[in-house]
C-alpha cells in the first residue's frame, strides 16, 4: 500500500510540473517589460523613456548606459583638432603670444549671489570656508581652525553650509599621510549669535570623506569616501542631509572624483574613469540608472548641475600651451548625453564650475588675471550669465580661492 501511494504522488507531481512551468512563462511575459536592462555592451536597452542607449557595465548597483547620441560636440581627437583650428587656438599656441583674458572687474552688486569658497583670504596658508558675494568685498570667514577646511556647499536658502575638515582627525589614524576628514555643517541662522557653538559634525568614521554636495533644501547629500586600506578606489555615497542612510551609488575608478547633486536631489553628476577615460556621468536617483554623458577620449572633470538637472557644466582639458598652462574650457551638455556646447573661449584654465539653481549664472575659477602686470597669471573667481559673453571678476586680492558653490 505504501509503494502505491508514493507512485500516485509522483504521478501528481509529474503533471504539476508542466502546469507550473506554463504559469511561470506567462508571469514572465506579463510582468517583465521587454527591453529591460541587459549587461551586454552590444545590446540595445531602453531603461526608461528618458534614456536610450547601450549598457556598458555596472557602477555601484546601477547599469551604466551609453546614450544614443547625434555625435556632435568635442568627443574625439579629430573633433578637438577641428575645434582648436576653428577657434584659432592652434595658431596661438604655436607662438609665444601675450596671455590676456577679457573680463569686467565687478565692484557693484549684481544678481545677489551667495558664494561659499575654500580660501586663505584672511590668513595666508590656512584654508578656511568663506562666504562672499559677486563683488568680492567683505568676505565672511565661516571657519577659523588650523586645519584644511574644503569642499563647501550651501543650501539655496543660505541657512546651512556644509564642508569637509580634518579638525577631528583620529589620533589612531593608521596612515599618517592620509588625514581622516569628516563632513560638518554650519547653521547659518545661529552663526554669529551667542547660541552658535561651532560646526556640527555629521560623519564619524576612519575614512577620508570629501567632495560633499547638498540639495537645495539640505535633505540629500552626496560625497566621496576613501578608505585608508584602498585609497585609489573611493566610493560615491548618497545619503540623507544628516549623512544617515548612506548608500553606495558608484564604486569604480573614482579617484579625483568631485560629485554634485541637483537642487531637487534627483540627479548626481560626477567624473570617473569607469570606461578607461575621464568622463562625466549622471546618476538618476529615481530611475536608479547611471548615464555616461560625455563618453569621449578627451578628459572631462568636475561637473556642476542646476536645480532640475536641465543644465550640466563641466571642464574639458583641451591641451597644453607653450607656457605649460593647461588649456581648459567649460562645456555644457544635456542630461541625455547630447548637445554638447562650449561656453568659455580663451587660453586659460577655466575650472571648478558652480551653477545657480535657476541655471542662469555660472561661477568658476580661471587663471586669466595678471594681478601684478608681470605676465604671471593668478587664479581668481569669476561669474557669467549662462549664454552671455561678459565675464565678471569677483576676486580682489590674489589669494587662494577655490571650490566655489552657489
Do 312 and 350 lie in one domain? The reply is yes
Tell me, yes or no, whether 246 lies in a domain.
Answer: yes
| Total of domains in the chain | 2
Are 292 and 281 spatial neighbours (Cβ–Cβ below 8 Å)? yes
Taking 3-state DSSP, the helix, strand and coil percentages for the chain, each rounded to the nearest 5, stand at 10, 35, 50
What is d(CA 3, CA 8) in angstroms, rounded to the nearest whole number? 9
Element (H, E) at 131: strand 128-132
- Of 79, 75, 90, the C-alpha closest to 347 is 90
**Residue 9 and residue 132 in one domain:** no
User: Are 241 and 94 contained in the same domain?
Assistant: yes
Place of cell 577657434: 87
Distance CA 142, CA 59 (A): 36
What is the three-state SS of the chain?
A: CHHHHHHHHHHHHHHHHHHHHHHHHHHHHHHCCCCCCCCCCCCEECCCCCCCEEEEEEECCEEEEEECCCCCCCCCHHHHHHHHHHCCHHHHHCCCCCCCCCCEECCCCCCCCCEEEEECCCCCCCCEEEEECCCCCCCEECCCCCCCEEEEEECCCCCEEEEEECCCCCCCCCCCCCCCCEEEEEECCCCCCCCCCCCEECCCCCCEEEEEEECCCCCEEEEEEECCCCCCCCEEEEEECCCCCCEEEECCCCCCCCCEECCCCCEEEEEECCCCCCEEEEEECCCCEEEECCCCCCCEEEEEECCCCCCEEEEEEEEECCCCCEEEEEEEECCCCCCCEECCCCCCEEEEEEECCCCCEEEEEEEEECCCCCCCCEEEEEEEECCCCCEEECCCCCCCEEEEEC
* String of DSSP letters for 227-256: -SS-TTS-EEEEEETTS-S-EEEE-SS-TT
81 in any annotated domain: yes
For residue 99, the model assigns a pLDDT of 38
What kind and span of H or E run contains 80? helix 77-86
228, part of any domain: yes
Domain that holds residue 165: 77-405
Q: What is the chain's pLDDT, residue by residue, as a tens digit (406 residues)?
A: 444 443 444 344 344 444 434 334 333 333 333 222 233 334 444 455 578 888 999 999 899 999 887 667 888 888 888 877 776 555 454 434 333 457 888 889 999 999 999 999 898 889 999 999 999 998 999 999 988 899 999 999 999 999 999 998 766 666 655 678 999 999 999 999 999 999 999 999 878 899 999 999 999 999 999 887 777 789 999 999 999 999 999 999 998 899 999 999 999 999 999 989 999 999 999 999 999 999 998 999 999 999 999 999 999 998 876 556 678 999 999 998 889 999 998 778 899 999 999 999 999 999 888 777 766 678 899 999 998 889 999 998 888 899 999 9
Amino acid 47: pLDDT = 52
63, part of any domain: no
**Position 320 in a domain:** yes
Q: Is residue 244 part of a domain?
A: yes
- Do 169 and 96 fall within a single domain? yes
Q: Are residues 29 and 99 in the same domain?
A: no
Do 115 and 39 sit in the same domain of this protein?
Answer: no
Is 62 part of any domain?
Answer: no
Residues β-bridged to residue 351: 365
Verify that 386 and 257 share a domain, yes or no: yes
Dihedral over Cα of 177, 180, 185, 190: its sign: negative
CA-nearest of 61, 12, 53 to 35 is: 53
* pLDDT reported for residue 124: 86
Residues 291 and 380 in one domain: yes
pLDDT at position 370, please?
75
Q: Answer whether residue 146 is part of any domain.
A: yes
- CA 50 to mean position of chain CA atoms: 21
Overall size of the chain counted in residues: 406
Specify whether 81 is located in the same domain as 46.
Answer: no
Residue 229, domain CATH:
2.120.10.30
Q: Supply the pLDDT for residue 88.
A: 58
Measured from the Cβ of residue 137, the count of other Cβ atoms closer than 10 Å reads 13
Amino acid at each position: 500500500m505504501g509503494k502505491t501511494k508514493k507512485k500516485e504522488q509522483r504521478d501528481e507531481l509529474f503533471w504539476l510540473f508542466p502546469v507550473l512551468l506554463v504559469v511561470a512563462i506567462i508571469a514572465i511575459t506579463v510582468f517583465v517589460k521587454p527591453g529591460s536592462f541587459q549587461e551586454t555592451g552590444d545590446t540595445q536597452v531602453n531603461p526608461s523613456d528618458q534614456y536610450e542607449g547601450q549598457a556598458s557595465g555596472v557602477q555601484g548597483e546601477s547599469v551604466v548606459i551609453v546614450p544614443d547620441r547625434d555625435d556632435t560636440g568635442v568627443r574625439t581627437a579629430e573633433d578637438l583638432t577641428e575645434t582648436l583650428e576653428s577657434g584659432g587656438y592652434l595658431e596661438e599656441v604655436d607662438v609665444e603670444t601675450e596671455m590676456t583674458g577679457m573680463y569686467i572687474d565687478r565692484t557693484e552688486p549684481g544678481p545677489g549671489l551667495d558664494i561659499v569658497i575654500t580660501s586663505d583670504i584672511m590668513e595666508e596658508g590656512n584654508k578656511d570656508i568663506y562666504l562672499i558675494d559677486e563683488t568680492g568685498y567683505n568676505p565672511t570667514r565661516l571657519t577659523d581652525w588650523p586645519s584644511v577646511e574644503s569642499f563647501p556647499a550651501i543650501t539655496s536658502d543660505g541657512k546651512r553650509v556644509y564642508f569637509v575638515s580634518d579638525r577631528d582627525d583620529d589620533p589612531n589614524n593608521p596612515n599618517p599621510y592620509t588625514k581622516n576628514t569628516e563632513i560638518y555643517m554650519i547653521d547659518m541662522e545661529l552663526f554669529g549669535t551667542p547660541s552658535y557653538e561651532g560646526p556640527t559634525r555629521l560623519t564619524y568614521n576612519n575614512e577620508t570623506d570629501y567632495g560633499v554636495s547638498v540639495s537645495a533644501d539640505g535633505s540629500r547629500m552626496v560625497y566621496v569616501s576613501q578608505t585608508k586600506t584602498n585609497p585609489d578606489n573611493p566610493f560615491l555615497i548618497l545619503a540623507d542631509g544628516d549623512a544617515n542612510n548612506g548608500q553606495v551609488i558608484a564604486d569604480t575608478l573614482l579617484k579625483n572624483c568631485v560629485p554634485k547633486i541637483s537642487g531637487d536631489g534627483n540627479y548626481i553628476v560626477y567624473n570617473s574613469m569607469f570606461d578607461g577615460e575621464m568622463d562625466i556621468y549622471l546618476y538618476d536617483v529615481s530611475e536608479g540608472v547611471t548615464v555616461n554623458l560625455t563618453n569621449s577620449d578627451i578628459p572631462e572633470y568636475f561637473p556642476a548641475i542646476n536645480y532640475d538637472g536641465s543644465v550640466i557644466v563641466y571642464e574639458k582639458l583641451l591641451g597644453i600651451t607653450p607656457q605649460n598652462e593647461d588649456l581648459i574650457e567649460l562645456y555644457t551638455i544635456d542630461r541625455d548625453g547630447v548637445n554638447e556646447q562650449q561656453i568659455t573661449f580663451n587660453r586659460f584654465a577655466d575650472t571648478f564650475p558652480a551653477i545657480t539653481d535657476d541655471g542662469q549664472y555660472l561661477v568658476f575659477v580661471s587663471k586669466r588675471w595678471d594681478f601684478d602686470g608681470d605676465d604671471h597669471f593668478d587664479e581668481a573667481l569669476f561669474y557669467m550669465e549662462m549664454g552671455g559673453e561678459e565675464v565678471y571678476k569677483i576676486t580682489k586680492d590674489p589669494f587662494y580661492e577655490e571650490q566655489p558653490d552657489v
